[in-house]
Amino acid sequence: MFNVPSTPGGAAIRSFGEFQPSNVVTNADLEQRVETNDEWIQSRVGIKERRIAGPEDTVVSMAVAAGGKALASGGMSPEDIDLVIVATCTVQDQIPNAAASVAARLGITAPGAFDVNAACAGFCYALGVAADAVRAGSARNVLVIGSEKLSDWVDWQDRSTCVIFADGAGAAVVSASEEHGIGPVVWGSSGDRADKIFLREGKYLYQEGQAVFRWTTTELYKVALEALERAGVQPSELTAFVPHQANLRIVESIARKLGAPQALVARDIVTAGNTSSASIPLALSRMVGRGELPSGSIVLTLGFGAGLVYAAQVIRVP
Amino acid sequence: MAHSEQEILAGLGEIIEEIVGTEPSEVTPEKSFVDDLDIDSLSMVEIAVAAQDKFGVEIPDDRLKDLKTVQDVINFIQK
């Protein structure tokens, strides 16, 4: 009935980029603020240090920095991009959205631009939407960014949360490709458990640690395995597993259940903390930068967080 | 299916050895998870999940704080 693009091609990641604030906050620094210690933090969440943004770093500015690096790394000009998606749940102002401002500051003229709030699963959701847009012909090149300033939403007197959360951004450019370099997204939610992670008093991140731990360590490996199956990838083919960097014990517990002992497991949380939707692209970008993920590597991602929401897909490293 | 106290104790010993590496002989009824066995709140969740698989009794998160000793868990599973 209508004309629609007939471009049944693939989508693939072209490049990554990342940004971390310069301010390093160690566990020793936190010992000065709240009743805690390095041994407790490392044994419970696996974090040694994290980056905390100053007033000059915002969700938008960090997204611009990460997005700009992804464009440069992929050899892309601003005019090549026709869609910008920013996954975030920590913007100060809901209006206007972050994506349009990010695009303008990168010199990308009049792209489609919207934000995604799927909490810590945001990047996997945004990547899934970006891949679908490219495969359907709605966009040629998409800039996908996860950017979070969680430090604005942390009660710095609450030792159960302030040791976990951090700030940063990670980005990827998704482009049309002959081969499928991004597998089908497997996503879902469990809104009946919305009370497990939320903003206490509308201001401070709160989570029921035991409930979240049980959920993540008993249910989510099935989502990850389904993403592999949907893409036709065997666990033995995985180069790496890059889940949301929520807590090292959660990361390692899920990894053990995948049946992929050869896969490198992202442990970016140790030095980056939990950066919500930024954690997966940040980890990917840093791992690529260190040479841990050669071109062609097959990587399984798994995002999960407040909602509860979750999403997974396999990607091929450019 | 009811389990004897001995069966549950032996089962908990295996579970705790797998999760935190403690010798099963160390796992005796009077031991406190936190003070004697060095088991934290997240490991307690893992123990609860493993115990559910082994004994078919669900231990919800909101009950975990009441289960302070090995005997408390045995009683919970037997009740």
The pLDDT value given to residue A26: 96
For residue B49, list chain A residues with Cβ-Cβ distance below 8 A.
Answer: 214, 217-218
What's the CA gap between A259 and A19, in Å, rounded? 32
Across A232-236, average pLDDT = 97
Question: pLDDT per residue over B11-67, tens digit each?
Answer: 999 999 998 889 999 999 999 999 999 899 999 999 999 999 999 999 999 999 899
Burial of A104 per CB tally in 10 Å (0-12, 13-18, 19+): middle
Tracing tokens 């997974």 back to the chain, one arrives at: A312
Residues 6+ apart with CB under 8 A from A183: A227, A228, A230, A231, A233, A313, A314, A315
Searching chain B, which residue's CA lies closest to the CA of residue A214?
Answer: B45
Q: Do A218 and B44 touch (CB under 8 A)?
A: no
Coil/strand/helix, residue A11: strand
> Tell me, what's the pLDDT at A1?
86
Q: What is the pLDDT of residues A64-102, one digit of tens each?
A: 999 999 999 999 999 999 999 999 999 998 899 999 999
Arithmetic mean of pLDDT over chain A: 96
Mean pLDDT, rounded, for A284-290: 97
Q: Residue A122: what residue type?
A: G
Q: Which of A165, A151, A147 is nearest to A70 (CA)?
A: A147
To the nearest whole percent, how much of chain A has pLDDT over 90?
96
The pLDDT of residue B55 is: 92
* ipTM of the prediction: 0.88
Q: Tell whether omega for the bond before A308 is within 30 degrees of 0, i.e. cis.
A: yes
| Partners of residue A210 in chain B, C-beta under 8 Å | 41-42, 44-45, 61, 64
Percent of chain A's residues with pLDDT above 70? 99
CB contact B58 to A (< 8 Å): no
CB contact under 8 A, A211 and B46: no
The DSSP result for B2-33, as a single string, is: ---HHHHHHHHHHHHHHHH---GGG--TT-BT
Whether residue A210 and residue B40 make contact (CB cut-off 8 A), yes or no, is no
Enumerate the active-site residues of A.
Answer: 120, 244, 274
Q: Please give, rounded to a whole number of angstroms, the shortest distance from the CA of A82 to a CA of chain B.
A: 45
Show residues of chain B in contact with A209, CB under 8 Å.
41-42
Residue B1 pLDDT > 60, yes or no?
Answer: no
- Give Cα A261 distance to the centre of its chain: 23
Question: According to the model, what pLDDT value does residue B2 have?
Answer: 73
